[in-house]
Amino acid sequence: MEKILVGLKRVVDYNVRVRVKSDGSGVETDGVKMSINPFDEIALEEALRIKERGEAGEVIVASIGGSEAQQQLRTGLAMGADRAILVETNDAVDPLTGARIFMGLIDREQPGLVLLGKQAIDNDNSQTGQMLAAIWGRPQATFASAVVLDGDKAKVTREVDIGLESVEVDLPAVVTADLRLNEPRYVKLPDIMKAKKKPLDQIPLADLGVDTATPIRETKFEPPEQRQKGIIVEDVPALIAALKDKGLL
């Protein structure tokens, strides 16, 4: 295929312990380390491997957000993507609007495959890939742990609750990456230098002519209820006694 389109979302780094603001208006993101959503990084790695096998000509990374999202796109270019597109907006983007924006990019680029992460680790919605496939009217293969291309079809192994499901989809299609699809490569310094010269197009959101969806309104943020620390018992008989005490044995 000619092109693979990969979505990269800028999110709070997975190592950051997120805290709710004391006034309940959101979570603390000032001065917090930001990274590519880990599942999106896996999606990009898969696209690069497909290209390196000679099964795709070009890997395009795309993000939606403010100019700061260029950092994540540059990282994607350093990993090996050929070019990048930033759809610029300073507003929060809900999953359906995000899917419509990607549909706008599909109309422009006509990719043979769209690879996204199975969910973003900030809002944990797990919606955008499925929604994109729906409005595109194309197949979706979510939670992928293996992708094998075969001409105008792909066989995708999916991590489902009861095991591993294989589906065959006609291309073009949307595939969303799960944790075990691959291990993304590390970026080397020379690649970071090279990435600076790769093209990064900025498209104002308004230019795509996307019909913005009505978001689900977030009214209040709270920390989760914490479990209390319990007791330490000395030995197995004491453990059994404690379990019997709770009626669990």
Partner 1 sequence: MSKILIIAEHDGASLNQSTAKCIACAAEIPDAEIHVAVFSDNGADVAAAAARVAGVAKVLQVENAANKQALAAVLAPQIVAFANDYSHIFGPSTTFGKDLMPRVAALLGVNQISDVMSVLGSHNFQRPIYAGNAVVSVEAPADLIVVATVRIASYRAAADGNNAEIAASACAADLPDHTRFVDLQSGKSDRPDLQTAGKVISGGRALGSAENFDLIYKLADTLGAGVGASRAAVDAGYVPNEMQVGQTGKIIAPDLYVAIGISGAIQHLTGIKDAGTIVAINKDEDAPIFEVADIGIVGDLFQIVPELEQALS
Q: Please say which residue, 73 or 174, places its beta carbon nearer to partner 1.
A: 174
Q: How many residues bind partner 1 (CB under 8 A)?
A: 81
**Torsional class of 54: left (φ above 0), alpha (ψ -120 to 50), beta (otherwise):** left
**x/- contact string, 27-46, with partner 1 (CB under 8 A)?**
x-------------------
Asked if 52 and 16 count as a contact pair (C-beta separation under 8 A), the reply is no
Q: Please say which residue, 71 or 126, places its beta carbon nearer to partner 1.
A: 126
Q: Select from 58, 82, 146, 155 the one that contacts partner 1 (CB under 8 A).
A: 155
Measured in whole angstroms, the distance separating CA 7 from the mean position of its chain's CA atoms is 7
Q: Select from 65, 76, 80, 95 the one that contacts partner 1 (CB under 8 A).
A: 95
Rg (CA), the chain: 21
Q: Report d(CA 69, CA 84) in Å as an integer.
A: 11
**Does 224 engage in binding with partner 1 (CB under 8 A)?**
yes
**What residues between 1 and 20 interact with partner 1 by CB under 8 A?**
12, 17-20
Q: Select from 13, 109, 165, 191 the one that contacts partner 1 (CB under 8 A).
A: 165
Asked if 159 and 170 count as a contact pair (C-beta separation under 8 A), the reply is no
Least distance to partner 1, CB of residue 129, Å: 8
**Does 117 engage in binding with partner 1 (CB under 8 A)?**
no
Sign of CA dihedral 148, 150, 152, 155: negative
Quick one: which segment of 47-55, 74-82, 125-133, 199-207 binds partner 1 (CB under 8 A)?
A: 125-133
Q: Please say which residue, 71 or 127, places its beta carbon nearer to partner 1.
A: 127
**Torsional class of 59: left (φ above 0), alpha (ψ -120 to 50), beta (otherwise):** beta
Q: If you ran DSSP here, which 8-state letter would residue 123 be given?
A: T
Kindly provide the b/e burial profile for residues 113-131, where b requires at least 16 CB atoms within 10 angstroms of the residue's own CB: bbbbbbbbbbeeebbbbbb
**Does 200 engage in binding with partner 1 (CB under 8 A)?**
no
Q: Select from 122, 185, 192, 200 the one that contacts partner 1 (CB under 8 A).
A: 122
**Does 140 engage in binding with partner 1 (CB under 8 A)?**
yes
